[in-house]
Amino acid sequence: MNHIIPVASLCLVVAVGPGCHRRAVAKPSAVPPNTEVWLAPEQAAAAKLVVEPLEPQPVGGVVVASGRVTFDDLHVAHVLSPVTGRVVKIEAQPGQRVKKGDTLAQIESPDVATAFSDLAKAQADFGAAEKDANRQKELFDLHAGSQRDFESAQSNFSKARAELDRARKKTRILRGSSSDRSDQMYTLRTPIDGEVIARNVNPGAEVQGQYTGGTVLELFTIGELDSVWVLGDVFEMDLGRVKAGTACLAAVVSYPGRVFRGRADWVSDTLDPATHTSKVRCKIANSDRALKPEMYATVTLPVDRQVALAVPRSALLRLGDQTVVFVEMGKTPDGRLRFERRPVVVNEELGSEYLPVLRNLAKDERIVVSGAILLSGML
């Protein structure tokens, strides 16, 4: 007689069998949080993950600042016209070497004739006032003149002398510009030795005198480019480490791979209110004229290193606008290794191989320093 065993009973028999017992007691695996990766030890070994504890490291060694190339202001002259008039002749061209006193341009100006005319009038007035003052003094000494007339004559004499001094000082600027004082030609001369770096005027152009109070055009730039300045903007957090006398290295995009060496000879005592940076001035030799004023530059200043809690650059990952690392958080109940993705804040301006940690990491936490990109792909 065949015996039919109910399905439920069959399942019960299978459940108590040796092979089914393990499946019956096994529990579903736990699911890791969205910010964690769980790996078996053999998986971590296969991925060749390298984990190191977070410890203080030497960081720094350099301060990097953006900057620009400028003239050495002790070797540059911005030449303006002291008179209003019309340029009739250009004597110096860009790139030309000039000596102090050489002619740059000729300007026809009524200011020249006016100045010498004012001087002649002041000289005549001074002579008349001097004679009157002497005459009134003689009359006053002889009791033939009043004290009031004597004092008035002395006052007029003082005014005439002051006016003569003013006229002489004004014409001193123009003296030697023309052999004929009736001529209206003014000779614009260079005040220093150097090279004509720029010329901003053409023949026939009308120019405004720098003493008239109007808008004044710089006509010529005379300077030397054998030595230039690079002005760098140093952030407030780095100011304590940058000192005058520090060596500096400058680089510009025009010459990739080339380093211009110099020395920082001045650090500003004030901060720019807009950028909250301080100026550092580096003096750099420029014998081949490679550096041009107004070039943008990157300035590197070697400084003393300091010790701070720091993470290797190799441990950092960029995810959007976040910087993250993976931190080993121990093991799960079934023995797998837990790795947590954690946003961190580091000081990227200070450091090279290691970057100082500002937030979200503590000493001795174990950081994935190699293989973090593999963990990121598992999330």
282 Cβ partners below 8 Å, 6+ apart? 67, 229, 230, 231, 232, 248, 250, 262, 263, 264, 265, 299
> What pLDDT shows up at residue 184?
82
Structure tokens at 146: 């009043």
Instruction: Let me know if 16 is exposed, middle or buried by CB neighbors in 10 A (0-12, 13-18, 19+).
Output: exposed
> What pLDDT shows up at residue 7?
36
Assess if residue 97 is contained within a domain: yes
Assess if residue 118 is contained within a domain: yes
Q: Can you spell out the DSSP letters for 198-241?
A: EE---TT-EE--TTSSS-----EEEE--SEEEEEEEEEGGGGGG
Gap between the Cα atoms of 9 and 29, Å rounded: 29
- Give the chain's domain count: 4
> What pLDDT shows up at residue 141?
84
Contact of 185 with 108, CB cutoff 8 Å: yes
115 Cβ partners below 8 Å, 6+ apart? 167, 170, 171, 174
CATH (domain of 315): 2.40.420.20
pLDDT, one tens digit for every residue, the chain (379 residues): 444 444 333 333 333 444 444 444 444 467 889 899 999 999 989 989 999 999 998 887 788 899 999 999 889 999 999 888 999 999 999 999 999 999 999 999 888 878 888 888 999 999 999 998 899 888 888 888 888 888 898 999 999 999 999 888 878 777 654 444 446 888 999 999 999 999 999 999 999 888 777 778 899 999 999 999 999 999 988 888 888 998 899 999 999 989 999 999 999 999 999 888 999 999 999 999 999 999 999 999 988 777 889 999 899 999 888 999 999 999 999 999 999 999 999 987 665 688 889 989 999 999 999 999 999 888 8
> Which ranges in the chain belong to alpha helices (H)?
7-16, 18-25, 41-46, 110-141, 147-174, 372-378
Residue 324 belongs to domain spanning:
36-59+308-378
CATH (domain of 236): 2.40.30.170
> What pLDDT shows up at residue 180?
46
Assess if residue 286 is contained within a domain: yes
CATH (domain of 196): 2.40.50.100
